[in-house]
Chains A and B, each alone.
Chain A
């Protein structure tokens, strides 16, 4: 099968560099997600791979087939690329039945009638839509349309599957089910897949690897666990899950951990592999669920490092847990906890190994 290579991809719209020197590879059968806020360049990258947009520079190749080569002015139109793209809007042809929607790509490939019928039945069964062949798209629910859209791309067995936010038009409950189903299906089919989304939980749940994009660049490309636990910069830490940020200055370094003066000069100890100097400006990110609150400074057998007396400012009940906004000195941060502390004040414990230290931008 095929490996997708994207090298030095650039696409500008007027003055804006929508895609700014993006490179990545997707291994055969791998599921890669392009994740980022709207306008980060993920959809433009996908359109360039599909051939719907002509990039300005770079190289796109699938296996031995070069789709686009900026230096040689080579551009293969979308119909010559043998790839499948599922649109956010599904883009089912409203004047054709489900069956005919699936039949169209097969007819283009001049596949004999019997073989076409066999394949359509096979793929409709795969997406659990066997009974719906005679329906028109407008008579289907959103979830069903999404399945048909996927079936339409799988039916001609493309070498590469591209998915452009295919779940974003489904309601929350259905989205979660479709997500599991989609991942299962991709495993089963084994097709190399590039998935575009702005939904971080989708990205984490589905992907072998995630490329987080911001302002036209890939800021981190790694497996979901690394992306979540070891974000490359504050943007990733903030965009994936949620994070509290503390700004401070390094005041001491000792075997693998640093002491940082935050806010009013309170010391925060953080484990960090970074090589930092005294006086370095840093940003520390801590996820709300990694902090815990207790009524005493010595709870849960932890030592006394990073224990802060806090005042509780706001409580939000979210069903599965509570989110509490607490204040220490001038800093306030959020803590997720299962049970609310009794009083107006409490102690916040921040484990040093849960602190992720980034050098401040100006200090680099």
Chain B
């Protein structure tokens, strides 16, 4: 046999004239750039203009910042800092302790606790805030019960500290998520080595286990601080009624409560917030640079050994049970109960108050039904489009010879530093500046675009690690047998990436389902979502329908997560 052949061959040794690979790579980069810059540029520009940016007489100025930094604003900053610190500390302490107890000790029922500690991650802050309000607010069910027993009002959530408690419990799952990954990946030999060198379990925990979790702790701390700073719901629900202003509520009230919103002032404040968040992100990058020191290089996979807690295991069990019941179960359960009652109060038996009225009210109005439909549509369509875009970004950024692939990766993860509220304001400005974008105004597409931009980093974080698990030899071999980059990506990498793409879709779906901050400035008649409708009910004081909508949102989430995990085997959060 000879391999001489007259059969068709590829055009040999050619440098292609039109390179479709380059065209696609540039296309992806352009889309990503537009998405990220769409909200940013208008904010940057408006921050230095003396009039709204659509006004042709507008001139450049730096005076906006002078007008911004008043005594009142100083107060806002003080509140925000205190809230962010409180939220972060509470969230981190709960998350770290929870992760160590579940991941590293012989705590009873630790698998169940692991699930319960993680679950609130699937719920929106708005839902959590309403839940807390319903149970622990001034006329909340638990508040009234305790009051009737001890005779005085036991707590007041309408303070910055009170908000920080709610925020901390709401953010604890994120801290837990980062720490549990680190705790369960730890190499038990490192601890065994310390034990055999004579250290007591407590010393080992202090000197080996905790330090090894340091990257996860640092990462989670800064993520939680950023989320606390940009959180709208809890400050709005608990600070709004008593005029405690935080950064986000300040922006919210500036836009919605004044007859003629001061574009320049809002942009200057947004700009300021953006700079703060970017600085925090830069700090995170700096602190994480030496994270390699903490990477435990384990040879063979071994099951992490567990610290025996002895009699303390029941103390830990009790403490965690108390936390889970009052921090998660009561909050969510209370909300569900409230949705099925006229009023939730310990003063009357619950069965006398039972009603489907709240749900009937929602079903009766087209706007409310539409907001549910829109939310699901945005989650599905946005999830699919987002997954496709993010997958291609990851393919270009990590699996191509594209000259600007590093820059593309930075671009894709940069929205991490763009708070949702700023994204909303920025896109809102962009629309008023580029009238051709106006047709998007009353459609869900505007929200789809905004959401995808917001959650590019989240999706990228699901795809990129999976991609790096696929040996580079697989695409290199496809290239040498004659497939170009695009063909290789389609025929080889996409097929192998399917499980990761499902995970990415699931993550985007959940985030889009619970997102509301970005939508607050962008929704219009026709493009309402559950979150914005809940806020409207809330402002009107209709707590029943709010609870019903929240319950519906929880129900959709539970069903989706259950089906995705159990039926489709999708991995969501490890």
- A residues engaging B (CB < 8 A)? 1, 50-52, 62, 65-67, 74-85, 87-89, 91, 93-95, 104-105, 108-111, 115, 119, 122, 126, 152-154, 156-159, 162, 188-191
B347 at the interface (CB under 8 A from A): no
**Contacting pair A82 B3 (CB below 8 A):** no
**Contacting pair A82 B482 (CB below 8 A):** yes
**Contacting pair A80 B3 (CB below 8 A):** no
**Contacting pair A79 B492 (CB below 8 A):** no
Q: A66-B13, A82-B9, A84-B480 are in contact. Are A189 and B474 (CB under 8 A)?
A: no
**Bound complex: CA of A65 vs CA of B11, how far in Å?**
11
**Contacting pair A93 B474 (CB below 8 A):** yes
Q: A93-B492, A104-B491, A108-B487 are in contact. Are A189 and B3 (CB under 8 A)?
A: yes
**Bound complex: CA of A157 vs CA of B471, how far in Å?**
25
Q: Is the interface of B mostly helix, strand, loop or mixed?
A: loop
Q: Which of B1, B3, B7, B10 has the most CB of A within 10 A?
A: B3
Contact of B8 among A111, A122, A152, A188 (CB under 8 A): A111
**Contacting pair A79 B473 (CB below 8 A):** no
Residues of B within 8 A of A190 (CB): 2-3
Instruction: Pick 29 A–B contacts, CB within 8 A, sort by A.
Output: A52-B479, A66-B13, A76-B15, A77-B15, A79-B487, A80-B11, A80-B12, A80-B15, A81-B480, A82-B10, A84-B480, A89-B471, A89-B473, A93-B474, A93-B478, A93-B492, A104-B481, A105-B483, A109-B7, A109-B10, A109-B482, A111-B8, A122-B1, A152-B481, A156-B482, A157-B3, A158-B3, A189-B1, A189-B2
**Bound complex: CA of A89 vs CA of B12, how far in Å?**
27
B 1-44 binary contact with A (CB < 8 Å = 1; else 0): 11111011111111110000000000000000000000000000
Residues of A within 8 A of B15 (CB): 74-77, 80
Contact of B1 among A1, A65, A104, A188 (CB under 8 A): A188
**Bound complex: CA of A128 vs CA of B169, how far in Å?**
64
**Contacting pair B9 A79 (CB below 8 A):** no
Residue of A nearest to B19 (CB): A77
**Bound complex: CA of A158 vs CA of B5, how far in Å?**
10
Contact of B481 among A76, A108, A110 (CB under 8 A): A108
10 tightest CB-CB pairs across the interface, nearest first? A65-B13, A91-B473, A91-B477, A105-B481, A157-B3, A78-B479, A85-B480, A108-B482, A95-B495, A157-B5
**Contacting pair A105 B484 (CB below 8 A):** no
Residues of A within 8 A of B1 (CB): 122, 126, 188-189
B476 at the interface (CB under 8 A from A): yes
Min CB gap A274→B, angstroms: 44
Residue of B nearest to A2 (CB): B12
Min CB gap A56→B, angstroms: 15
**Bound complex: CA of A331 vs CA of B137, how far in Å?**
91
Min CB gap A286→B, angstroms: 41
**Contacting pair A79 B13 (CB below 8 A):** no
Residues of B within 8 A of A108 (CB): 10, 481-483, 487
B190 at the interface (CB under 8 A from A): no
B: number of interface residues (CB 8 Å)? 32
Q: A52-B479, A104-B491, A108-B482 are in contact. Are A91 and B10 (CB under 8 A)?
A: no
**Bound complex: CA of A190 vs CA of B4, how far in Å?**
9
Q: A104-B491, A108-B481, A191-B3 are in contact. Are A82 and B12 (CB under 8 A)?
A: yes
**Contacting pair A80 B2 (CB below 8 A):** no
Min CB gap B499→A, angstroms: 11
B276 at the interface (CB under 8 A from A): no
**Contacting pair B496 A95 (CB below 8 A):** yes
**Contacting pair A104 B483 (CB below 8 A):** yes
Min CB gap B21→A, angstroms: 9
Residues of B within 8 A of A79 (CB): 10, 479-484, 487
**Bound complex: CA of A89 vs CA of B487, how far in Å?**
22
Q: Which of A50, A51, A80, A110 has the most CB of B within 10 A?
A: A80
Q: Which of A51, A77, A152, A190 has the most CB of B within 10 A?
A: A77
**Contacting pair B484 A77 (CB below 8 A):** yes
**Contacting pair A50 B480 (CB below 8 A):** yes
Residues of B within 8 A of A157 (CB): 3-5, 7
**Bound complex: CA of A183 vs CA of B16, how far in Å?**
36
Residues of A within 8 A of B492 (CB): 93
Q: A94-B496, A188-B1 are in contact. Are A109 and B9 (CB under 8 A)?
A: yes
B 467-506 binary contact with A (CB < 8 Å = 1; else 0): 0000101101111111110010001100110000000000
Residues of A within 8 A of B476 (CB): 52, 78, 85, 87, 91
Residues of A within 8 A of B9 (CB): 82, 109, 156
**Contacting pair B7 A111 (CB below 8 A):** yes
Residues of B within 8 A of A65 (CB): 12-13
Min CB gap A239→B, angstroms: 27
**Contacting pair B13 A67 (CB below 8 A):** yes
Contact of A104 among B473, B478, B484 (CB under 8 A): B478
